Amino acid sequence: MARNKPLLLATFFTLFLFFSYILLPSTKSIPPPPPPHQTTTALTEPPPIPSSILTGSAIMPHLGNETLKAELGRAGWKLFHTTLARFPESPSLDERTALAHYLALFARLYPCGECAGHFQKLLVQYPPQTSGRVAASQWGCFVHNLVNQRLGKEVFDCMTVGEAYKCGCAEEDEKKKKEKEVIEPTGSSLEENLKGSGRKVEVVKEGLMNGG
Ligand SMILES: Cc1cc2nc3c(=O)[nH]c(=O)nc-3n(C[C@H](O)[C@H](O)[C@H](O)COP(=O)(O)OP(=O)(O)OC[C@H]3O[C@@H](n4cnc5c(N)ncnc54)[C@H](O)[C@@H]3O)c2cc1C
Ligand SMILES: *[C@@H]1O[C@H](CO)[C@@H](O)[C@H](O)[C@H]1NC(C)=O
């Protein structure tokens, strides 16, 4: 017994330290974490975003590198069109507002500063159509075509935009492509279809009505 006395004392001391740490947490050593959702509990709806935030000038710097600009563009358009293609068919006012704000900030924060400035002007001229998926997708196709025109690119056939961006999931897209290849063995890619399409100018006119 006597041999274990120092061990017992050490154990008690350790336990004492342990419990005093647990029960009497020091206010100095660990600052309490901020309560989650500190403000949301007090509010019934989110505060409106000041319009200066939505319409302020482009934030990002000039993106000189043309390779990076094109890569970013393809990824950006993919995100842009897929968002619109999957937007609710009958959105609530809340959802419409969310989309309008998202697009305004997408334009303002687009990582290519010089592109962002141009795109913001387009959005002022042709405000986003948020009444539903079809209107939004057609509007998106229309404004992308305006960018295409400014850059001297081919105009996209907006009749196909709903199909082209339905999912945005690689697997689904791949499956669709395979199915399509079975039906039409040649000219099955979007680009190849485009080359054979004679409807491109007509789409711009339709888009103008949608956008304006
Ligand atoms: C918001 C935004 C602004 C931009 N501004 C500029 C700029 O000012 N200067 C600049 O140099 N680059 C800009 N870009 C990049 C530019 O638009 C292209 O993305 C880039 O040049 C690559 O072009 P691409 O030929 O590969 O086809 P992209 O235009 O990138 O298109 C990608 C694919 O989308 C499809 N597509 C084409 N048109 C449409 C359409 N109307 N609707 C739906 N799908 C379509 C086609 O399948 C095409 O292959 C911008 C990109 C974005 C997203
Ligand atoms: C542009 O970026 C690409 C990809 O990162 C790079 O390979 C290329 O060297 C860059 N070009 C210039 C001119 O900096």
Residue 204 lies in a domain: yes
- Which residue's entry shows tokens 């999957």? 86
Does ligand 1 come within 6 angstroms of the Cβ of 73? yes
Q: How far apart are CA 109 and CA 63, in angstroms?
A: 13
Q: By C-alpha distance, which of 158, 152, 155, 147 is closest to 210?
A: 158
Report percent pLDDT > 90 for the chain. Answer: 52
Residue 74 lies in a domain: yes
Average pLDDT over residues 13-37: 53
Q: How far apart are CA 51 and CA 202, in angstroms?
A: 35
For residue 47, the number of C-alpha atoms closer than 13 Å in the C-beta half-sphere is 8
Average pLDDT over residues 31-47: 56
More confident residue, 210 or 5: 5
Q: What is the overall mean pLDDT for the chain? A: 77
Residue 53 lies in a domain: no
Among protein residues, the one with the nearest Cα to ligand 1's atom 51 is: 73
Residue 22 lies in a domain: no
156-197 confidence digits (pLDDT tens): 999 999 888 876 555 555 666 667 666 655 444 444 444 434
Residue 171 lies in a domain: yes
Domain that residue 119 falls in: 62-211
The total number of structural domains that make up the chain: 1
78-99 confidence digits (pLDDT tens): 999 999 999 999 999 999 999 9
Residue 51 lies in a domain: no
Q: By C-alpha distance, which of 129, 205, 127, 190 is closest to 160?
A: 190
- Spell out which residues line ligand 2, taking CB within 6 angstroms: 65, 67-68
Q: Which of 63, 66, 67, 72 is the best mutation target for the ligand 2 pocket, counting ligand atoms within 8 Å of the beta carbon and taking the most?
A: 67
Does ligand 1 come within 6 angstroms of the Cβ of 155? no
Residue 121 lies in a domain: yes
Lookup: tokens for 128: 């986003």
Split at pLDDT 50, 70, 90, the class of 152 is very high
Check residue 42 and report its DSSP letter. G
45-56 confidence digits (pLDDT tens): 667 788 899 999
- Which residue's entry shows tokens 């939004």? 136
* C-alpha distance from residue 44 to each of 40, 47, 96, 97 (Å): 8, 9, 19, 17
More confident residue, 77 or 212: 77
DSSP secondary structure, 135-180, as one string? HHHHHHHHHHHHHHHHTTPPPP-GGGHHHHTS---HHHHHHHHHHH
* C-alpha distance from residue 102 to each of 55, 85, 95, 145, 163 (Å): 12, 15, 10, 20, 23
Residue 49 lies in a domain: no
Q: How many residues does the chain have?
A: 212
pLDDT at 187: 44
CATH number for 191: 1.20.120.310
